Amino acid sequence: MTPLDTNIRYIKGVGEARAKSLSKLGIETLRDLVMDFPRAYEDRRQLKSISQLIFGEKACVSATVASPAQTSRVRRGLDITKVNVVDDRSKMTITFFNQEYVKNALVPGKEYIFFGQVGGRIGSPTMTNPIFEPAESVSHSTRCIYPIYRLTAGISQNMMNKLARQGLDECGDQLPERLPENIRAAYSLAQTRFAYENIHFPKSFEDLELARRRLIFEELFVFSCAMEMLKGKRTEKSGFSINIPDLSEFRSVLPFSLTRAQDRAIADVMNDMSREKPMSRLIQGDVGSGKTMVAAAACWAVFKAGRQSAFMVPTEILANQHFEAIKKLLEPLGAKVALLTGSLGAKARRETLQAIRDGDVDIVVGTHALISDDVEFDDLALIVADEQHRFGVQQRAALSDKGTSPHVLVMSATPIPRTLALIVYGDLDVSIIDELPPGRQKVDTYLVGENMRQRIYNFIRRLVSEGRQAFIVCPAVEETEESPDGLKSVKEYAQRLSKDIFPDLQVALVHGKMKPKDKSEVMENFAAGKVDVLVATTVIEVGVDVPNAALMVVENADRFGLSQLHQLRGRVGRGKFKSYCVLFEGAGGNVSRERLAVLCKTNDGFKIAEEDLRLRGPGDFFGSRQSGLPDMRISSFASDMDVLVKAQEAAKKVMSEDPDLEDEINSPLRDSVQRLIEKNRGTLN
Ligand code: ADP
Ligand code: MG
């Protein structure tokens, strides 16, 4: 038996060169090898006779070599080897390209199993480059469910197959049983050894399913245990409680009444903050669901308790907007609100920092500038991170460190399917705002091709003549190294719009490379109605609130994720005006057209997120690893959610009985949990 941590190059049949190739697949050790699960399977079990073969299908056929194979050289670098095979009734011709060695491998009179795609005509089938093995040998690549692995240069499917077999034989018996016996029994899960054997070399699809179910469960279970462990650590930290204030005062300054969902979220927050341990809560809600009000209520409660809040947002535009809104709302109640962004002048900055330090400011709204070293708080009790997917965990932590375990409230406008939230934010408490303020109109969404461009321009003109405003968003190409011309093309496009297409309208451009001050100026002009058409890169994606904007046009919509487009669409339809979203489909083709069509069908951010997740996977979904999603080997966030719920339930049970997994029987589990936490240090909260 070979230890699991043995470097792969010492495994029989590997060696230096192959070890190098394998490392490209992330396979460094024997453990990695046996944990490199097939990505697909091919059913090669059914053995047919030649006469049963159907054109176009892939099939196994048993046949005897009728005569010696003949090779002819067609030209340099291309030779063809032909061989006739027969069974008791029919004949078939097999052709191999550039595989002269088969001449010796196929012995006339001997029976072989061939697997390949059937070609030829009815009555005279053929195969080209089939896989074959002697009929009397053990089945490896024919007559079985054949595992298909990920490959890289220098590693063939057959080789991976052999290596997997070899790996299992070397270490199969020492694969640790990480699932406690009672959990395995309670959830009817297969044993480790069985699972590994059958995930690689299943005898039947039923066995494969049993193996998969167990391995998915195990993976999600270990993950959930890690989350529980981290959560346990968090609750140990000392926090401080604030008294839940009478909310009627807060309500009295609102120009509207809160939705029930907002009420619920606010109650959750108040409850958390009234306890001894620090709050760690996520507010999830679709665009426009009114998350800011929940944060404002939290800041207000902290102000009532005589302490400070910091409200961090990802862009200056948003910082300005939130600052104005919160100031307007809470200053009449006596709270001092300050703005801290990178574009503050030196003097203003100094004064603001001083006021924050002295405790003269109750609520600071700002960008990343909030976490710079010279920002000190007098008594920071709450941090709010809006649009949290834009921040890394470290950034949030850096802000947290400015207080002593302050309460933390994060807000996400990228709705995550409820089930997924469990895993992404496994150690956060979650409130969901699943209701929009009354009177919101559905934004009519259209997917159009280039041929509609003129009509869309006419439509923009018509809306503007009615007093509305429009956004035209271009993909944020300027951010990428590969296309330094991206920004240029956006600039040129904006210029063309303003000179040639809408010479009589006010067209302005805002993009990520502009100075913050210039950006704010353009946004203010737009908000004030001085700009009719705002050409923008995705800097406007988050949060911007201009109720008079009634049209969102997105160029090359195929370059965006669905959730991102949904965010963009959320920039319109915020006032009383009927609003529209037009997506130019770009060059993405049918697949992306189908994807984009989801947006035309629904305005429900959760549904869209789910679809996005299904179609693009979680990596793209979040845009970066920042979200704290660890790599999963076998589980799919999109489709294994029912298992996740069970795995979490099981993890809670195990962890409540043995919070640090100190019990001897839990030691394989503890190892895995620790390995996972170690590997994801800095990304898991
Ligand atoms: P988001 O959840 O996308 O951050 P906001 O907090 O920006 O949404 O709210 C969107 C708009 O809805 C804002 O103009 C806000 O003033 C308004 N709003 C929030 N709550 C309510 C409510 N209960 N009734 C009516 N309008 C509301
Ligand atoms: Mg918001």
Instruction: Looking at the CA of residue 292, tell me the nearest atom of ligand 1.
Output: 6
Residue 618 predicted with pLDDT over 60 = no
Examine the pLDDT at 453 and tell me if it is beyond 90. Answer: yes
- Contact between residue 229 and residue 655 where contact means Cβ atoms under 8 Å apart: yes
Q: Higher confidence at residue 468 or residue 441?
A: 468
Domain boundary among 116, 143, 170: 143
* Tens-digit pLDDT profile for residues 51-81: 999 898 899 999 999 999 999 998 888 999 9
Structure tokens at 23: 């490392």
The preferred substitution site among 289, 311, 387, 434 for testing ligand 1, maximizing ligand atoms within 8 Å of CB, is 289
Q: How confident is the model at residue 335 (pLDDT cuts 50, 70, 90)?
A: very high
Ligand nearest to the CA of 435: 1
Q: Using CA positions, which residue lies closest to atom 24 of ligand 1? A: 437
Ligand showing the shortest atom-to-Cα distance for residue 567: 1
> What distance in angstroms lies between residue 521's CA and the mean position of ligand 1's atoms?
23
Q: Which of 465, 471, 415, 418 is nearest to 443 (CA)?
A: 471
Query: Do residues 385 and 447 share a domain?
Result: no
Residue 27 falls inside a structural domain: no
- Asked whether residue 189 is domain-assigned, the answer is yes
Its pTM stands at 0.66
In a domain, 535, yes or no: yes
How far apart are the CA of 278 and the centre of ligand 1, in A?
27
Domain count along the chain:
4
pLDDT of residue 672 exceeding 80, the answer is: yes
- With a 6 Å cutoff on the Cβ, whether 545 touches ligand 1 is yes
Q: Do 508 and 522 contact (CB within 8 A), yes or no?
A: yes
- Cα(5) to ligand 2 centroid in Å equals 47
Q: Would the pLDDT of 620 be above 50?
A: no
From the alpha carbon of 259, which atom of ligand 1 is closest?
Answer: 23
Residue 155 lies inside a defined structural domain of this protein? no
Tell me what the mean pLDDT of segment 431-449 comes to: 89
Q: How many C-beta neighbours within 10 Å does residue 656 have?
A: 10
Do 508 and 616 fall into the same domain?
Answer: yes
In a domain, 61, yes or no: yes
Smallest CA separation from ligand 1 atom 26, residue? 437
Complete DSSP assignment for 627-640:
G-PPP-SS--TTT-
- pLDDT of 375 above 50: yes
259, 283, 292: residue to mutate for ligand 1 pocket, most atoms within 8 A of CB: 292
Determine, yes or no, domain membership for 16.
no
pLDDT, greater one: 92 or 417: 92
651: tokens are 């993890």
The reported pLDDT for the residue numbered 681 is 62
Largest distance between two CA atoms of the chain: 98
CATH code (residue 406)? 3.40.50.300
**Is 34's C-beta closer than 6 angstroms to any atom of ligand 1?**
no
Tell which of 372, 406, 433 closes a domain: 433
Contact 654, 183 (CB under 8 A): yes
Ligand 1 pocket, residue 297 CB under 6 Å: no
Q: Which atom of ligand 1 is nearest to the CA of 570?
A: 3
Residue 44 Cβ contacting ligand 1 at under 6 Å = no
Q: Which domain holds residue 89?
A: 46-143
Instruction: Please state, in angstroms and rounded to a whole number, the distance separating the CA atoms of residues 504 and 197.
Output: 71
Domain assignment present for 538: yes
Ligand 1: which atom is nearest the Cα of residue 293?
Answer: 6
CA distance 338 to 310: 10
Residues 412 and 482 in one domain: no
Pair (455, 382) in one structural domain? no
User: Residues whose CB is under 5 A from ligand 2 (ion)?
Assistant: 543
**Domain shared by 429 and 447, yes or no:** no
- 113 vs 143: CA distance, rounded Å: 8
Q: Which pLDDT does position 350 carry in this prediction? A: 95
> From the CB of residue 185, how many other CB atoms can be counted at a distance below 10 Å?
10
- Residue 552, sorted as left (phi over 0), alpha (psi -120 to 50) or beta, turns out to be beta
Q: Counting ligands in written order, which one lies closest to the CA of residue 287?
A: 1
- Per-residue model confidence as pLDDT tens digits over 131-170: 999 998 887 888 899 999 999 988 889 899 999 999 999 8
Position 203 scores a pLDDT of 92
Check residue 622 and give its pLDDT. 43
- Ligand lying closest to the C-alpha of residue 542: 2
Q: Averaged over 280-287, what is the pLDDT? A: 86
The residue nearest atom 10 of ligand 1, judged by CA position, is: 288
Q: What's the confidence (pLDDT) of residue 199? A: 95
CA-CA distance, 412 to 606, in Å (whole number)? 12
* Number of the ligand 1 atom closest to the C-alpha atom of 290: 6
Q: Is 291's C-beta closer than 6 angstroms to any atom of ligand 1?
A: yes
Please tell me whether residues 592 and 447 are part of one structural domain. yes
My answer on whether 453 and 520 are in the same domain is yes
User: How many C-beta atoms surround the C-beta of residue 238 within 10 A?
Assistant: 9
Q: Please count the other Cβ atoms lying within 10 Å of the Cβ belonging to residue 43.
A: 11
Please state the atom number of ligand 1 nearest to the C-alpha of residue 439: 25
Q: How far is the CA of 386 from the centre of ligand 2 (A)?
A: 7
Query: 72: domain CATH number?
Result: 2.40.50.140
Going by pLDDT thresholds of 50, 70 and 90, the confidence category of residue 234 is: low
Q: Which two tokens stand for residue 410?
A: 């994060």
Mean model confidence pLDDT for the chain: 86
With CA atoms as reference, report the closest residue to 359 among 411, 413, 306, 395: 306
Q: Is any atom of ligand 1 closer than 6 Å to the C-beta of 262?
A: yes
Give the tokens for residue 218. Answer: 């195990």
492 falls within a domain: yes
Q: Say if residue 288 is in the same domain as residue 391.
A: yes
The label of the residue with tokens 């959730």 reads 563
Query: 267 with 414, same domain?
Result: yes
Helix (H, G, I), strand (E, B) or coil at 499: helix
Q: Which of 371, 398, 433 is the last residue of a domain?
A: 433
In a shared domain, residues 490 and 386:
no
pLDDT higher than 70, residue 628: no
Asked if 256 and 208 sit in the same domain, the reply is no
Report the nearest-CA residue for atom 4 of ligand 1: 291
pLDDT 10s digits, 462-515: 999 999 999 999 886 544 444 545 566 788 889 999 999 999 999 999 887 888
Ligand nearest to the CA of residue 295, numbered in listed order:
1
Q: What tokens does 300 get?
A: 């207000």
Name which residue leads in pLDDT, 670 or 276: 670
Q: Closest Cα partner for 238 from 405, 415, 443, 483? A: 405
275 in the same domain as 349: yes
